[in-house]
Structures are given as C-alpha cells and as structure tokens.
Structure 1
Amino acid sequence: MLHRAIKIAVILACIPVVLMLLYRPSFIHPPSTLMLADLATLQGYDRQWVPLDKISPYLIRSVMMSEDGQFCAHNGVDWVQMRSVIDDAMDGEETRGASTITMQTVKNLFLWNSRSFIRKGLEIPMALTANVLWSKRRTLELYLNVAEWGPGIYGAQAAALYHFKVPASKLSARQAALLAVSLPNPIARNAGKPGPGLRRLAAMVERRARNAGPYITCLDQ
C-alpha cells in the first residue's frame, strides 16, 4: 500500500515537470487552471495570446516593479522575502505575499487560487524547476498571457482591450501601471475604473518603472 502511494506521488510530481517541458516553445499557448475552471462551469473566458515583444514595454516594466522587482536576480524564489514572511508568521504577525512572478506563473498554470501553506509548499519546488527549464523571457511571457485581469479576462491583450480599448502593444505608461497594481486582486481592483487609492499606487509604480533599466537586464538575453 505504501509502495503504491509513493508511486502515485512520484507520478503526480512528474506531471508539472512534463508540462513545463511541453510549455517551453513559444508557439505553445497553455491555459491557466482558472481558465479551465471557467470552461468547466460553462462561463467561458477571453484570452488572446500575444508574444512578449507585442506587449508594451511599459506593462512589462510596471508588472516587474510592482510584482517582483528582483525577478532577474533570483532563482524562481526570492528567499530574502520568503524568510521575512516566515519570521512574521512565527512572530504571530500578519504576513504579506512573497510570491515571485515565477511562483505566480506555476500557480496559475498548475495549482489552485486560494491561499494555503500546502499550495505555497508546492509552488516553491515548481518555481525552482521552472526557473531551470524556462528562460526569464518565457516565464514572463507565460505570466502576462495567463494572469487574470477581471472576471473571465486573462492575459495582457484581453485586459488592455477590455479596460482601455487598446491592444497590449499600445498601452500608455499610466494604463500599464494601473493594470500592474490591479493584479493582486483584479476582481476588486478595476484598472479601467480606478479609485483614488489605486491611482496613487499606479503613480508610484509608474515612477519605479521609469527607472527599471538595471532590474530587467535578463529580458535582453
């Protein structure tokens, strides 16, 4: 019985690795688990895949500065941020998210959306593996094409058209910043109809994005 359980666990662990290898080529456009859930519940979704070079540099920089400023430097997991979150949890303090773009990408593609220690525990080895199998450009391309930006709205192209009536390649610096700061909670944070708080966050991210040059060198490779 134990042998069978171990065998099943190994098979299940191998499935994401096989899919990561399958998702390496740029012509593969995988869905997220949320997209599949929308299909399963007959809700449908809007996602129009676009390559990274067809996405506004403003959005690329804004998302990196808002979600994961050390994206080019870490190995899929930002251990400094992770240790800080663990320390806060051990001290009984409210914890903040420490998910990198790589961790969010594997979560979107292979895991579920609710917060839990089990999911986080699965995210970490998956992100480390993805960082080996995918280039940074491919990881970011995958993320920007599966991220949720509203009910049934996935990926940069659908988000840009839905919120601002422009393609992802034509997003302005402010529009890009609004989309970036809406990512943590795209249902509650409407990039196309931002309140004062969201506009303030977007202005801050817009300033960071202007000075993002030293942080995005991995995208030139």
Structure 2
Amino acid sequence: MGGVRRLLRVMLALALGFAALSVGWVLLYRVVPPPGTPLMLIRAVADGAGIGKDWVPLAAISPNLVRAVIASEDSGFCAHYGFDWNAIAGALEENAEGERLIGGSTISNQTAKNAFLWPDRSWLRKGVEAYFTLLVEGLWPKRRILEVYLNVIEWGDGLYGAEAASRRFFGKAAADLTRREAALMAVVLPNPRRWSPAAPTAYIARRAAVIERRMAVVAGDGLDGCAGS
C-alpha cells in the first residue's frame, strides 16, 4: 500500500509540474514571439532544410490573408472556443471507416500543434493538442492566436510564416498581398511542401477562386471580426 501511495504522489507531482510548465510556456508566448517550433527543428535536422522566417505583427499582415485562412481553414474561428464539434464528428465517422486518423482541426488546434508540439497523428498527440488548445484559447486573445498561427505555419520547405512566404512567392511584404495572392497562399496550406502559390496547378487555381468567394462572405458576415484591433 505504501508503494502505491508513493507512486500516486510521484504521478501527482509530475502532473502538477507539467501543468505549471505548460501554462508558463503558453503565457510566455502570449507576449514573446516563439523563437522556433518543434517542426522547424525536425525539418532542419531530418531533412537539412533551412529555417526561413520573419516575424511580423498581425497589423503588418494583409486583412486579405486573414480572411483567406479563416475562409479556407476555419470559418467559425471567431465564434468557437477552440473546437469545431461538427467537423470533429465528421472526422470521427471517417476515422471509424478507415485506418487514416484525421481530425477537424481549427486554427486554434493548428496553432497549438505548430507552436508547442511534434507532428504526429496519434491519439496521444491529439490529446495533448486538445490540452494546449484549451490553454491557448483561455490565455490568449483571438488576435494573438491568429498572429502566432500566421507567423509559424509552414508554407514550403524551410519556409515559415506569412512574411517570409509572401516575399518568397510574390516578392512583396505580407501587408501588400492582394485577394488573389492571399487565396493562393491559403489554399496550399494543407500540403505546402507539394503545392506552390507562385506556380498554382489548375486545381489550386480553382480552389483559390472558391476561397476568394468565401472571403467575401467572411468580410460581409463579419466572421473575421475578432482579428480587428
């Protein structure tokens, strides 16, 4: 019995330590730009890819790109608290029918995953991702979530963040992206190492046209309202 109590005390201490460290980490990134991400390190070590990134505040990123990623990735971003339950239900149905684990990721989920976690599709990683999503949603304003997301997301081999990607693909600052350029940038996010906004395939061009129409809905319905100052 004494051994069980000691084990429980150790487990409790570890849980409390993890909670304290994770909360402190998330609070730090609320005010400090993440210097890097686990994915950046993995790509650099495993693939020899460089790390091209230029942190800019959300105010220096075109509203077109904000609307494009909301239209493409998470139209309910400003209204939900980190989870899109309808998308999750649909993903669970697909997971039950096949072997490939997928999920209804929101921008908040993707921010938590990219800023704090390793790339993996296991249930363990998904569980930790959910925990960090709750922390991010509880401790950051929506503007900060978008700001971190648009600065750390992968846009190509060794290419991270809207500013570096915009300059690489279009030769301009992220603040100057047009509607079409922003739509092309958003469309390639599901597979940025295969697709390029600067050389879109016919499929990517068609998808970008769809995103442009959705961007008008996002603007008209105020679905990007939480991105305002």
TM-score (norm 2): 0.88
Correspondence list, 1:194-213, <5 A: 194-213=200-219
Deviation at 1:14?
Answer: 3.2
CA distances 1:14-68 after superposition (whole Å, capped 9, x unpaired): 322211111112xx11022122335556643111011111101111100111010
Equivalence for 2:40: 35
Q: Is the 8 A contact 1:160 1:166 kept in 2?
A: yes
Does 2:77 correspond to 1:85?
no
**1:192 alignment partner, SS class:** coil
Partners of 1:36 and 1:6 lie apart in 2 by 31
Please list the CA deviations of residues 77-120 of structure 1 after superposition, one character each: whole Å capped at 9, or x if unmatched. 11221122223333558665311101100100111112222111
Select between 135-144 and 44-53 the one with higher mean Cα deviation. Answer: 44-53
Alignment of 1:28-177 (within 5 A): 28-30=32-34, 31-38=36-43, 43-92=49-98, 96-177=102-183
Task: Check whether the contact 1:16–1:110 (CA below 8 A) recurs between aligned residues.
Answer: no
AA aligned to 1:85 is A
Separation of aligned partners in 2, 1:133 and 1:123:
15
Q: Distance in 2 between matches of 1:80 and 1:14?
A: 32
SS state at 2:51 partner: coil
When residues 67 and 51 of structure 1 are mapped into structure 2, their CA distance, relative to the original with a 3 A threshold, is: same
Give the greater-gyration-radius structure (CA). Answer: 2
Q: C-alpha offsets along residues 174-218 of structure 1, whole Å, 9 cap, x if unaligned?
A: 111111011111001111111111111111001111221221122
The number of residue pairs the alignment matches comes to: 219
Q: Within 2, Cα distance between the matches of 1:110 and 1:186? A: 20
Aligned residues of 1:77 and 1:128 also touching (Cα < 8 A): no
Amino acid paired to 2:38: T
Q: Percent identity?
A: 43
Q: 97-106 vs 30-39, which deviates more?
A: 30-39
Change (3 A) 1:15 1:160: same
Residue of structure 2 aligned with 1:18, choices 6, 12, 24: 24
Tell me, in whole angstroms, the C-alpha distance in 2 between the residues paired with 1:11 and 1:37: 26
Give the 4+ runs in structure 1 shifted more than 4 A.
38-43, 91-96
Distance 2:214 2:38 in 1: 31
Tell me how far apart the structure 2 counterparts of residues 86 and 38 of structure 1 sit (CA, whole Å): 29
Q: 1:220 aligns with which of 207, 223, 228?
A: 228
**Cα 1:95/1:44, change in 2 over 3 Å:** closer
- Tell whether the 8 Å contact from 2:101 to 2:122 is kept in structure 1 after alignment: no
Mind listing any 5+ residue stretches in structure 1 that lack a counterpart? none
Question: Helix, strand or coil: the match of 1:149?
Answer: strand
- Give the structure-1-normalised TM-score: 0.91
For 1:106, what is the secondary structure of its paired residue?
Answer: helix
- Tell me the SS of whatever aligns to 1:112: coil
Q: Deviations over 1:161-180 (max 9, x none)?
A: 11111110111111111110
